[in-house]
Amino acid sequence: MTGQSDQSQWRTDTDSLLRKLVSAIPDMLSTYWLSADGESHRFVFISEHVQSVLGIAPEVLRENAEAMFSAVHPEDLPGLKVSVAESAITLSRWHRQARLRMKAGHYDWFEVNSMPERQADGSTVWYGQFHNIQRYKDLERTLRERETESAFQADFQKLIANLSTKFINLGIGAIDQCITELLRAIGVFFEVDRAYLYEFSPDYHVMDNTYEWCSGGVPALIDSQRNVPTDGLEWWQCKINEMVSGNRVIFVEEIEQIPAGPERTTLEQQGVSSMFCVPVRVRGLVTSFFGVSSLRKRAWREDQADLLIIVSGLLSGALERHRLESELLNQSIRDPLTALHNRRYLMPRLNEMLSRASRHGEHFTLAMFDLDRFKHINDSNGHLGGDFCLRTFADILLEQTRETDVVARFGGEEFVVAFSGVSQADVRDTVSRIIRSVRNHNFVFESCVVPLTVSAGIAAIGELNDIPASPDPLIRLADDRLYRAKQAGRDCLVDASGVSRI
């Protein structure tokens, strides 16, 4: 008894397992039986989910297959019955497409594939399946889309990896080239018309288009988008706040979504159809935004914003590194007391001037200044007083010279200005103004007036017989003339014409 019970239980468990396996198959597996006289038919077996698909209970079909044939579209039913009869006679594969009424009430195309087998009593049994053609098409399309998406993700990851490597290996001074390459690579990858980077002023009232890439035939906008005021751009100011405060990505699917105003007018004039703008953070603050624009209506990816945020992160890291390197470089070439350039910066610039003088005949002039009786100032007012005089004199130098002039602290109380593109007479006038400005300036440190004057020596490259290989001969000549000015009583200049008192 126990053996029979175990065998019965095994069969029950096996049947249950088979039903579960069959139910897991998307097609409706079936065993269809047709009597020898063709008057009776039923499904000996059919997958359980025939009820969820067609709304027909499996037990009904096991009693009579008429419910299945009743679900066939009236236009397809005659041909289906003929194909069953032919298969029963020839015992050839039963293959037919027909529309079946779904549980929801609409019709879908199904394909029947079954192999017949004659039974001893003359009846016929077909073993096969019904599968939903549309479902298979949808599944194939989904698989293709997944393959396409997988390829896209792989290509995007490769792109980001390549750009990351470039930024990691970024050399000092190469930031412009790398950002330009990033914009080009992203523009081509996403098939946009423009990719760009705008920098914000600290108060967000001005934005400056610093980098831009355009696809072929698309006009560049960078020259017309420099230092653009954002005051009066109400809609755009709101979007800037969203980027700054909420780290929001700005997506404009159609320009018509923007309220009528200067922003919409400008974008329409630029031909923009849709765009993304992504904030870029440096040291936790939004300092700029990265954007892409399309000049035609297009479908964007649902995850487009997420992908552009990844790009923005690359830019953020590169700009942060560039900022740190710039600070370190600036510290290395700036005098920490006066904020003027130091000798480390001055000497390469003088070498460049020498090179231009040698190749193109571009003359330049050097003026060396020294604060008179500076040791006495330090002794009388302390080193803080001396530092005050050095900083104030540095400010006077910057006020009296041009941005193109190289102004540097040479060491101690000595300063050098390199003038290019001006005559020796103009240099003499500028140096004279500096000496007068120092003499007339009211140097007051801790309520005490500090009497201060300055002496200067001027030397022009044209005074040397040959262009030297280094700036040393010119510096030596300017220094000698500075010494002569000191010997002549200070508070004066000496150039090729001799001592000049102002």
Residues in the chain: 502
Per residue in 253-279, pLDDT (tens digit) is 999 999 999 999 999 999 999 999 999
Q: Looking at the predicted structure, is the pLDDT value of residue 54 above 90?
A: yes
Whether 10 contacts 23, CB under 8 Å: no
pLDDT at 14: 41
230/238 Cα distance (integer angstroms): 11
Residue-averaged pLDDT of the chain: 89
SS3 103: coil
Q: Do the bridges between strand 454-460 and strand 492-495 make them parallel or antiparallel, or are there none, so unpaired?
A: parallel
Which pLDDT band holds residue 320 (cuts at 50, 70, 90)?
confident
Instruction: Report residue 483 as tokens.
Output: 């010494």
Per-residue pLDDT, 26 = 59
| pLDDT per position as a tens digit, 96-145 | 999 999 999 999 999 999 999 999 999 999 999 888 887 777 766 766 76
Beta bridge partners of residue 31, listed in sequence order:
45, 127
Q: Is 369 helix (H, G, I), strand (E, B) or coil?
A: strand
Q: 347 pLDDT exceeds 60?
A: yes
Instruction: Name the DSSP letter for residue 201.
Output: P
* pLDDT at site 176: 83
For residue 462, what are the contacts with CB-CB under 8 A and spacing of at least 6? 363, 424
Cα 134 → chain centroid: 41
The pLDDT score that the predictor gives to residue 142 is: 65
Residue 3's pLDDT is what? 45
Lowest-pLDDT choice from 77-86, 121-130, 141-150, 475-484: 141-150
Bridge-partner residues for 113, per DSSP?
95, 129
* Site of tokens 């487009």: 304
Provide the whole-model pTM: 0.52
**Distance, CA of 193 to CA of 219 (rounded, Å):** 10
- CA 476 to mean position of chain CA atoms: 51
Parallel/antiparallel/unpaired status of strands 274-282 and 285-294: antiparallel
Strand pairing of 406-411 and 228-229? Answer: unpaired
Higher-confidence residue: 321 or 211?
211
252 bridge partner residues: 275
**CA–CA gap between residue 50 and residue 34 (Å, rounded):** 19
Q: How many CB atoms lie within 10 A of CB 28?
A: 25
413 is catalytic: yes
Residue 127: phi and psi, rounded to 5, are -110, 120
In sign, the C-alpha dihedral spanning 385, 390, 394, 399 is positive
229 in the Ramachandran plot: left (φ > 0), alpha (ψ -120 to 50) or beta? beta
Q: Which of 86, 212, 362, 413 does the annotation list as catalytic?
A: 413
